[in-house]
Chains A and B, each alone.
Chain A
């Protein structure tokens, strides 16, 4: 089994002196789904944003698909990684001035220099896969939150990434829209995609995750398989968190 992401002793502090990451070490294997959980402010977002260079590091080192990131990496390395790692945000972040189709084909055409027709063909296939083919010529503002988030997933997938990062992809959705997005992610996991998912969806974690990682105050508290984590967590802090989540 090969490693997709290896993080060693990551340290990140913000200007106000907050230690958002305080010595995080972890590995994500290819084809694996890692779910990251933890209370608000524990550093989950900061962690996965370092994986594609959205946050810089103050210490430690990352190996993402064989490319090294550390406190002094060059912009070139970050772009190399971004072409191979997709990301989905909590707030969708679609481009409001572009149609759904143009949102998805923008990067394939401009970054990977694919032909327009081929890129559009691929985009339509992805929309089909997400169950929203008929929305292709609308604009983001005309779609529901759940539809927008599925477009965002399709947009990330259009670059044929080797790893997908999700930062609370369902937290901004109405409860009845959550399922359609989780279903799309479930399908993706079944297809063997390497995924790192920050989420509070316990059901999804239990069913889809290969491993669950629990973070608090910038540190990894424990990493277990879902079975163990949900029924018999090792650490007191994890148990307390799970208790709060279930009530």
Chain B
């Protein structure tokens, strides 16, 4: 009886899969026209960056890919390993310099930034701002000082109550209103700030979860060695808490990358934004499926790479494994 049901389900699923496979194959062979992707690869990669300067964003992305591969498959010990973290940290300022120019490079306005480069820069920039802010908020929420505790909690809960698109929209709209007249900050920076303010609230909750997982005896053991409260936090509690929080922080990071796509609604031409403008081009009218599949593949690859890197970091930080 049960076996027959099992076989029935298998058959039904196989039939469905077969039908789906056939339709996809048919579309790929007859319907699909990939010229909307193949002829616009530079646009997807770097947006409308000046053609003679394209090597700059491309160089940055090549460096990122090399670094990812090196981290995942490179030697496990030795000087390469030791320098990797520093090189990773240096990637953000490097990207900013290569894109914006200055210091010997031709300046390029943020209006010309776009494509995957902009997506990665938005992710990296806002992540780098959000992490420290989130840690501070988590510590604030667990502080013994009521004023600090209440204000952190209020900020976190308020931010978590509103949708991201609203925060981004009002970031574009309101940040200039709250700044002194005459002080202008550009659209990309505004987006990064709004993203960071939003993500920090979620990161704070993950870090708080990590902090809660560290038994109070660890603080005691550190305190009786004469470490100052600040050293206890910095050397004993935080490293452990962040390690506990790492899996959920990874999810946040992947979420951040995906959410940069919301900037398309607000008019930035990151990966999704550039695709929308391409689809509005009469030459590529109606080529939705090709573009969306292509984008899904790119996002999927980027997200998977990030998840792999985070998993790698987890293993590296696991004391039981890294010891020989």
- Which chain A residues have a beta carbon within 8 Å of chain B's beta carbons? 52, 54, 79, 82-83, 85-87, 89, 91, 93-99, 106-107, 110-111, 137-142, 155-156, 159
Q: CB distance A106 to B323 under 8 Å?
A: no
23 A–B contacts from the bound complex (CB under 8 Å): A52-B224, A82-B224, A82-B225, A82-B226, A86-B224, A93-B217, A93-B218, A93-B221, A95-B218, A95-B240, A96-B240, A97-B317, A97-B319, A98-B319, A107-B225, A110-B227, A111-B225, A137-B323, A139-B320, A139-B323, A142-B320, A155-B225, A159-B226
A45 to chain B, nearest CB (A): 12
Question: Which B residues are in CB contact (< 8 Å) with A94?
Answer: 221
Question: Which A residues are in CB contact (< 8 Å) with B228?
Answer: 79
Question: Which A residues are in CB contact (< 8 Å) with B64?
Answer: none
Question: Which B residues are in CB contact (< 8 Å) with A137?
Answer: 323
New A-B contacts (8) at CB < 8 Å, excluding given A54-B224, A94-B221: A54-B220, A82-B225, A83-B226, A89-B217, A93-B220, A97-B243, A137-B323, A140-B319
Q: CB distance B224 to A87 under 8 Å?
A: yes
Question: Which B residues are in CB contact (< 8 Å) with A155?
Answer: 225
- For residue A112, which residue of chain B has the nearest CB? B226
Contact with A along B71-93 (1 / 0, CB 8 A): 00000000000000000000000
Which residues 210-237 of B sit at the A interface, judged by CB distance below 8 A? 217-218, 220-228, 231, 235-236
Task: Please report the C-alpha to C-alpha distance between residue A166 and residue B235 in the assembled complex, in whole angstroms.
Answer: 24
Decide if B21 is an interface residue (CB 8 Å cutoff): no
- For residue B324, which residue of chain A has the nearest CB? A137
Task: Please report the C-alpha to C-alpha distance between residue A231 and residue B228 in the assembled complex, in whole angstroms.
Answer: 46
From B226, B236, B320, contact of A111 by CB (8 A):
B226
Question: Which B residues are in CB contact (< 8 Å) with A93?
Answer: 217-218, 220-221
Main SS of the interface on chain A?
loop
- Which chain B residues have a beta carbon within 8 Å of chain A's beta carbons? 217-218, 220-228, 231, 235-236, 239-240, 243, 317, 319-320, 323
Kindly list the 6 A-B residue pairs having the minimum CB-CB distance in the complex, ordered from nearest: A93-B221, A139-B319, A107-B225, A83-B226, A82-B226, A111-B226
- For residue A54, which residue of chain B has the nearest CB? B220
- For residue A90, which residue of chain B has the nearest CB? B217
Question: Which B residues are in CB contact (< 8 Å) with A52?
Answer: 224
Question: Which A residues are in CB contact (< 8 Å) with B224?
Answer: 52, 54, 82, 85-87
B304 to chain A, nearest CB (A): 28
B66 to chain A, nearest CB (A): 30
Q: CB distance B323 to A142 under 8 Å?
A: yes
Task: Please report the C-alpha to C-alpha distance between residue A155 and residue B236 in the assembled complex, in whole angstroms.
Answer: 15
Task: Please report the C-alpha to C-alpha distance between residue A63 and residue B317 in the assembled complex, in whole angstroms.
Answer: 43
Question: Which A residues are in CB contact (< 8 Å) with B221?
Answer: 89, 93-95
Question: Which B residues are in CB contact (< 8 Å) with A156?
Answer: 225
Question: Which B residues are in CB contact (< 8 Å) with A82?
Answer: 223-226
- For residue B229, which residue of chain A has the nearest CB? A75
Task: Please report the C-alpha to C-alpha distance between residue A141 and residue B322 in the assembled complex, in whole angstroms.
Answer: 12
Q: CB distance A110 to B320 under 8 Å?
A: no
- For residue B221, which residue of chain A has the nearest CB? A93
Given A138-B323, A141-B319, A95 and B223 touching (CB < 8 A)? no
Question: Which B residues are in CB contact (< 8 Å) with A97?
Answer: 239-240, 243, 317, 319
Question: Which A residues are in CB contact (< 8 Å) with B227?
Answer: 106-107, 110-111
Task: Please report the C-alpha to C-alpha distance between residue A201 and residue B33 in the assembled complex, in whole angstroms.
Answer: 82
Most A CB within 10 A of own CB, among B228, B236, B319: B319
Task: Please report the C-alpha to C-alpha distance between residue A230 and residue B144 in the assembled complex, in whole angstroms.
Answer: 47
Task: Please report the C-alpha to C-alpha distance between residue A69 and residue B246 in the assembled complex, in whole angstroms.
Answer: 41
Task: Please report the C-alpha to C-alpha distance between residue A111 and residue B231 in the assembled complex, in whole angstroms.
Answer: 9
- For residue A138, which residue of chain B has the nearest CB? B323
From A54, A141, A142, contact of B223 by CB (8 A):
A54
Task: Please report the C-alpha to C-alpha distance between residue A137 and residue B323 in the assembled complex, in whole angstroms.
Answer: 7
Question: Which B residues are in CB contact (< 8 Å) with A107?
Answer: 225-227
- For residue A95, which residue of chain B has the nearest CB? B236
Task: Please report the C-alpha to C-alpha distance between residue A91 and residue B220 in the assembled complex, in whole angstroms.
Answer: 12
Q: CB distance A96 to B226 under 8 Å?
A: no
Task: Please report the C-alpha to C-alpha distance between residue A95 and residue B239 in the assembled complex, in whole angstroms.
Answer: 10
Question: Which A residues are in CB contact (< 8 Å) with B320?
Answer: 139, 141-142
A195 to chain B, nearest CB (A): 15
Question: Which B residues are in CB contact (< 8 Å) with A86?
Answer: 224
Task: Please report the C-alpha to C-alpha distance between residue A161 and residue B253 in the assembled complex, in whole angstroms.
Answer: 46
Question: Which A residues are in CB contact (< 8 Å) with B220?
Answer: 54, 89, 93
Question: Which A residues are in CB contact (< 8 Å) with B240?
Answer: 95-97
B241 to chain A, nearest CB (A): 10
Q: CB distance A96 to B319 under 8 Å?
A: yes
- For residue A158, which residue of chain B has the nearest CB? B225
Task: Please report the C-alpha to C-alpha distance between residue A217 and residue B224 in the assembled complex, in whole angstroms.
Answer: 26
Task: Please report the C-alpha to C-alpha distance between residue A231 and residue B223 in the assembled complex, in whole angstroms.
Answer: 40
Question: Which B residues are in CB contact (< 8 Å) with A111?
Answer: 225-227, 231
Task: Please report the C-alpha to C-alpha distance between residue A19 and residue B231 in the assembled complex, in whole angstroms.
Answer: 33
